[in-house]
Structure 1
Amino acid sequence: MLLPEEDVEITSLRKQGWSISAIARHVGRDRKTVRAYLSGERVPGVRGRAESDVFDRFEPYVAQRLRDDPHVRATVLFAEVVGLGFERSYQTFTRQVRNRGLRPHCERCASSNGRAHVDIEHPPGEEIQWDWLELDDTPWGVKAFVLVGALSCSGKFRGWFSDSDDQPHLIVGLDEVLRRLGGTAKRWRVDRMATVINPQSGQVQRSFAPVAKHYGVGVDPCPPRHGNRKGVVEKAIDYLTQSWWRTARVTTPAEAQAGLDAWCAAMADARRRDGSTVAEIAETEPLLALPPVPFPAEVIEVRTVAANALVSLWGNRYSVPPGLVGAQVQIHWRVGEPTIGVHANRRQVCLHRLAPRGAQQTVRLPEHTEALENVVLGAFNTDKPCRRKLNRPPTDAALALAAELIGEAAAADPVIDLDVYRRLVEGDLR
């Protein structure tokens, strides 16, 4: 195979009148190779096959089958061509189908592959894109959800770790991300998540409409099967996952949140675009001011009461009545309020002040402390333990039962006087 610069050289020498043999000696190539390139039989940079490809014979059949049914599985086609005499591997077959472009493009099934692309202009402050990142494998052993919001113009983004991706947790994450960005864009771009968009109608959910009105924004769903419409946030998630999460040294959700915030400010905002950093571009975006308080959604968390009558919530522990040890309780929190309520059997059993997330505080009510102490002290026993080094030979009742067992097992054996045995044990006989 000749390199492009060698092809240029032999073409130039041929136009100067050199013979093929002289050119071959000059470039150190075989005369047949030089002649093939000069005649156009071979193309520079493309290695010629030493022998004809065995797939050539099967290409017309495979192409026709794929024209008839563009969605037929490769395994089915492979079985068919093997029956027709194809002797290469399945990997070779799929590579040939892929390299030769035999499978037709299906516009309805492929969201963007094979389709023309164009960069969408995003005016400053016009749009913010939202999406969830699901982390199945976490150091704390529980699946985590990260809501990521990215400004479409500057690319600045922030994330919020959550226990769930339901609508109340989504609303909490929206407010947390927006306050980290310093404001909101005029419109929110989301995919067709059921917590925001009605899957049947494609319209904004009636339960989510008050949230958008609270922040004064419009909501734009992506068209069906056009997830690349929100490519800014998708690239942000890919960057976050590979550049931070993959090597993050965190052990709790609180540590993960603090680490993500610090990394976004130090690394993600320092990315350069068109000669400026993301942070510098974001400063020029005219974002809308946020309401003074978040939208008052009600978040419900289910927890199991530990043996010390405490339940864990967002890096802190809260007391409950000791009678609930081992039971499941519901923790209700209305976003923005300073208290949480613990519910059991459909009624509220206690009310606590909400400690800062990740503060590692233990919040106990005095009545819970007193009740737990009474339960623990009530289980104490002040009696002296039993003496372990006493002589306790078989009693008369036990000896009588032993005699019955011996009589049942061997009636023909001589009868043993167990009273003699007892008195011997007790030391009466010398």
Structure 2
Amino acid sequence: MITQQEFIMIHELKKQGYSIRAIARITGKDRKTISRHLKNDQLAVIKRTNNKQSKLADFEGFIIERVAQSKARIPSIVILKEIRELGYTGKLRILQDFLKREYDKRLKDDPVVRFETAPGYQAQVDWTTVRNGKSPIHAFVMTMGYSRTSFVIFTNNMAEDTLIKCHDQAFNYFGGVPQTILYDNMKTVVDVRDAYGEGKHKFNSQFHNYAKDTGFVIKLCQPYRAKTKGKVERFNQYLKSNFYRPLVSKLNCGGIIEITIELLNSYINAWLNEANNRIHGTTNKRPVDLLQEELSALNQYVVKVLPQQLPLAKSTLNIELLPKVALVPIQQPSLNNYDRLVV
């Protein structure tokens, strides 16, 4: 075997008048090797193929069938135990690589499709963490599926009692309760998926009772399909990039002002007012106008918290928000890019 550089050198030395013996002496190659390569204009590339069969090959059909049987991802260690009983002697890593390719293939074959809901039928809820560490800050976000109107409030925890209080604030903000609310598999909402059969979940008892008393039905995303609630997910991204980070950068210049949940909540309403009053790129209408169409379809909300506890809407029939507490002047980024993120 010779390299491309050696091949070029052999031909160059030959052009310069060196004999095969001299070229062999200079390059350290056998004379027969030199002679053979001088007969060719290009270096022949030898393709090596690995014909060795993977230890997993005999079990791939079984694994593919097992993966297709379950909507959720099956832990690799579970499948490893099953195929070990069938005679597999290979390593876990081989199985994990194969499973990754199979699940990636399933995601490509299962594209995310945007779906629209009737007025008042659905809202989507999510937590997003804007700061980790010893003093974390989380944002509770609820987005109405029809109008895309969104509500945000910042907290220092995601406990069950806090989750319920955040819902109360959101319902007070929107002026009613949607018929259904879509969640991912947060522990404060669901204890065990499919506990009583497919689609029959064991919900957190306190939150389930709250949902029944308040008048909405809990809906869950499929496992590993959080994009089902893509409207609120995309709003989370925008909230961080166009509200939280610019605000923190401005207020925390020089490290003088401490960023707290109270401070963030004092600014969020003005920003929401702008977001909910823009022309939305998908609906071509203002979310606040579409929310007026939803009001008649919302279930009545019995006020359990006072609007004065946190700055919210002035009334359930008027979504004009209270002015922000202008602690420090700040120029917020434009919302022109919002419609590319929120669907």
TM value normalised by structure 1 = 0.43
Partner-residue secondary structure (3-state), 1:176: helix
Match of 2:113 in 1: 118
Give yes or no for the alignment of 1:213 onto 2:224. no
Distance 1:135 1:275, change over 3 A: closer
Contact 1:272 1:278 in 2 (8 A): no
Match of 1:129 in 2: 124
Match of 1:293 in 2: 304
Give yes or no for the alignment of 1:106 onto 2:117. no
Match of 1:155 in 2: 148
Mark the runs of 5 or more structure 2 residues left unpaired by the alignment: 1-42, 64-74, 77-99, 196-200, 252-258, 311-324, 326-343
Partner-residue secondary structure (3-state), 2:163: helix
Contact 1:105 1:114 in 2 (8 A): no
The structural deviation recorded for 1:245 is: 1.2
Instruction: Give the percent of matched residue pairs that are identical in Structure 1 and Structure 2.
Output: 18
Give yes or no for the alignment of 1:283 onto 2:292. yes
Give yes or no for the alignment of 1:185 onto 2:182. no
Q: Deviations over 1:166-202 (max 9, x none)?
A: 1011111111122222222111111111111113633
Q: Distance in 1 between matches of 2:118 and 2:45?
A: 53
Q: Distance in 1 between matches of 2:233 and 2:183?
A: 11
Matches within 5 A, 1:115-264: 115-137=110-132, 142-199=135-192, 201=195, 202-249=201-248, 250=251, 251-264=259-272
Distance 1:274 1:198, change over 3 A: same
Q: Distance in 1 between matches of 2:288 and 2:44?
A: 57
The structural deviation recorded for 1:160 is: 1.2
Contact 2:124 2:183 in 1 (8 A): yes
Q: Deviations over 1:341-361 (max 9, x none)?
A: xxxxxxxxxxxxxxxxx9xxx
Q: Distance in 2 between matches of 1:127 and 1:225?
A: 20
Partner-residue secondary structure (3-state), 2:265: helix
The structural deviation recorded for 1:272 is: 3.6
The structural deviation recorded for 1:214 is: 2.5
Contact 1:156 1:279 in 2 (8 A): yes
| Amino acid in structure 1 at the alignment position of 2:260 | T
| Amino acid in structure 1 at the alignment position of 2:292 | E
Q: Distance in 2 between matches of 1:217 and 1:179?
A: 14
Contact 1:67 1:104 in 2 (8 A): no
Q: Distance in 1 between matches of 2:146 and 2:53?
A: 46
Match of 2:96 in 1: none
Mark the runs of 5 or more structure 1 residues left unpaired by the alignment: 1-50, 73-102, 296-313, 316-357, 359-430
Q: Distance in 1 between matches of 2:150 and 2:241?
A: 15
Distance 1:284 1:105, change over 3 A: same
Q: Deviations over 1:19-73 (max 9, x none)?
A: xxxxxxxxxxxxxxxxxxxxxxxxxxxxxxxx9999x85698799989977999x
Contact 2:147 2:291 in 1 (8 A): yes
Choose 1 or 2 for highest CA Rg.
1
Q: Which has the higher contact order (CA 8 A, sep 6+)?
A: 2
Contact 1:158 1:177 in 2 (8 A): yes
| Amino acid in structure 2 at the alignment position of 1:167 | E
Match of 1:402 in 2: none
Contact 2:149 2:291 in 1 (8 A): yes
Q: Distance in 2 between matches of 1:244 and 1:53?
A: 57
RMSD: 3.9
Q: Deviations over 1:391-425 (max 9, x none)?
A: xxxxxxxxxxxxxxxxxxxxxxxxxxxxxxxxxxx
What is the total number of aligned residue pairs between the two structures?
217
Partner-residue secondary structure (3-state), 1:128: strand
TM value normalised by structure 2 = 0.53
Matches within 5 A, 1:38-117: 104-106=101-103, 112-117=107-112
| Amino acid in structure 2 at the alignment position of 1:282 | L
Distance 1:111 1:135, change over 3 A: farther
Distance 1:174 1:136, change over 3 A: same
Match of 1:323 in 2: none
Contact 2:124 2:143 in 1 (8 A): yes
Q: Which moves more between the two structures, 127-136 or 200-209?
A: 200-209
Q: Distance in 2 between matches of 1:174 and 1:52?
A: 70
Distance 1:167 1:63, change over 3 A: same
Matches within 5 A, 1:330-409: none
The structural deviation recorded for 1:268 is: 4.5
Partner-residue secondary structure (3-state), 1:230: helix
Contact 2:112 2:228 in 1 (8 A): no
| Amino acid in structure 2 at the alignment position of 1:246 | R
Q: Distance in 1 between matches of 2:292 and 2:180?
A: 18
Distance 1:284 1:163, change over 3 A: same
Contact 1:112 1:228 in 2 (8 A): no
The structural deviation recorded for 1:147 is: 0.9
Q: Distance in 2 between matches of 1:144 and 1:60?
A: 55
